[in-house]
Structure 1
């Protein structure tokens, strides 16, 4: 079997396993198993989506102070954190549910702190309000992954005037039952109506099928 074929088979296997994971704990188990080859598999040209670069480009345009404190939420193995550091930002923390992924992220020497935590079940262990200037989340939404219940915690830990950048595959807004039928958008709007945050940017990076990415940028009130 060629290396390219092996990558394709692993990617298909783990994406299917994620859709069948059932809940966040099941998803964590999948990522723990996938961590060893995750970077190679998801960054292969046939699998890579545009959301990561899309997010980093927007971050560079909207945040000019390279010393800001950033939380990479659902950081995984640190692919996006590494891109953010290469863009000149150096004060970055990581949070993810998978210890195995965080071990890989640590090897990249990108993050100041790494936190293992499953979001959505309770308040995060980040106790101080207004801790971060910027929160980024790339590819955190999808089957058995994050959903809009996490927004309130994002707002809690991000400083007033700070930014939240959230990118993920466009297809999940239709295919994921926890997000579809307007659930995602309604919660975003509810929080804006209550003056918690304001949508300051929404872009679609057109691509082929599942490579299409959405980016939402909010500013904390």
Structure 2
């Protein structure tokens, strides 16, 4: 077995073990344990979501990037902020449910503020003002956070601000994705936001399920708050 294959099988085992986590405490414990090796492991997966989301935001952002205040929801170790920093953004606030992930994000030096928040169970911290950009990458998926948290994301975005979200399009996540998209359309009908772009990405990341091979696909959604 090559070194690449060995690394992939190791990461695959880690991710499949995550499916055994059902309670919130178990999920947080998983991410606390994974934090140390997270960046290395997602590199093995060739995980493209952070860079694709950052480019989508930058393409449509018409303000001054250096002055924009970005809320990075489920920020993990800071992969999205790192990509956005490379594109000219510089003011980041992060939230995550894992203390170990927040510690890694703090070490990155990218964030002006970091808070613990368990999405779907706790509201986003109210002391913050409205954000120019709100982004959530990776957490909108079956077994992670409920799809209706996108209303909270919209609530903390300033009028005219951007909300960027991602989800996987693999078979395991299709039911969740359909529910997420229904909620997005419902919020459009309520005139809470306007769709700017939906981008389908073929090579989202390497497949880890026994039922899938090669790469799974994913989607990036960009909305503008009314």
Asked whether the two chains share a fold, i.e. TM above 0.5, the reply is yes
Q: Unaligned 5+ residue runs, structure 1?
A: none
Moved over 6 A (4+): none
Which residue does 1:170 correspond to in 2?
169
Which residue does 1:56 correspond to in 2?
54
Equivalent residue runs for 1:180-195 within 5 Å = 180=177, 182-195=178-191
- Once residues 2 and 108 of structure 1 are traced to their aligned partners in structure 2, the CA distance between those partners, rounded to angstroms, is 31
Q: Equivalent residue of 1:113, what SS?
A: strand
- Once residues 83 and 126 of structure 1 are traced to their aligned partners in structure 2, the CA distance between those partners, rounded to angstroms, is 26
Shift of 1:5: 5.2
| TM-score of the pair, normalised by structure 1 | 0.88
- Once residues 106 and 139 of structure 2 are traced to their aligned partners in structure 1, the CA distance between those partners, rounded to angstroms, is 19
Q: CA RMSD in A?
A: 2.1
> Aligned in 2, Cα 1:26/1:177: closer, same or farther, shift over 3 Å?
farther
> Aligned in 2, Cα 1:2/1:101: closer, same or farther, shift over 3 Å?
farther
- Once residues 88 and 176 of structure 1 are traced to their aligned partners in structure 2, the CA distance between those partners, rounded to angstroms, is 33
| Greater Cα offset, 162-171 or 152-161 | 162-171
Deviation digits for residues 141-168 of structure 1, max 9, x if unmatched? Answer: 2232123120111011111110011123
> Aligned in 2, Cα 1:178/1:103: closer, same or farther, shift over 3 Å?
farther
- Once residues 225 and 89 of structure 2 are traced to their aligned partners in structure 1, the CA distance between those partners, rounded to angstroms, is 20
Indicate if the aligned counterparts of 1:81 and 1:92 stay in contact, CA closer than 8 A.
Answer: yes
| TM-score of the pair, normalised by structure 2 | 0.87
Residue 203 of structure 2 corresponds to residue 198 of structure 1: no
Indicate if the aligned counterparts of 1:70 and 1:135 stay in contact, CA closer than 8 A.
Answer: yes
Deviation digits for residues 55-91 of structure 1, max 9, x if unmatched? Answer: 1111111114211100111110111111111211111
Indicate if the aligned counterparts of 1:19 and 1:143 stay in contact, CA closer than 8 A.
Answer: no
Indicate if the aligned counterparts of 1:74 and 1:137 stay in contact, CA closer than 8 A.
Answer: yes
- Once residues 151 and 183 of structure 2 are traced to their aligned partners in structure 1, the CA distance between those partners, rounded to angstroms, is 10
Instruction: Identify the structure with the greater strand proportion.
Output: 2
Equivalent residue runs for 1:11-30 within 5 Å = 11-30=11-30
Indicate if the aligned counterparts of 1:27 and 1:144 stay in contact, CA closer than 8 A.
Answer: no
Residue 218 of structure 2 corresponds to residue 213 of structure 1: yes
- Once residues 216 and 170 of structure 1 are traced to their aligned partners in structure 2, the CA distance between those partners, rounded to angstroms, is 13
Which residue does 2:92 correspond to in 1?
92
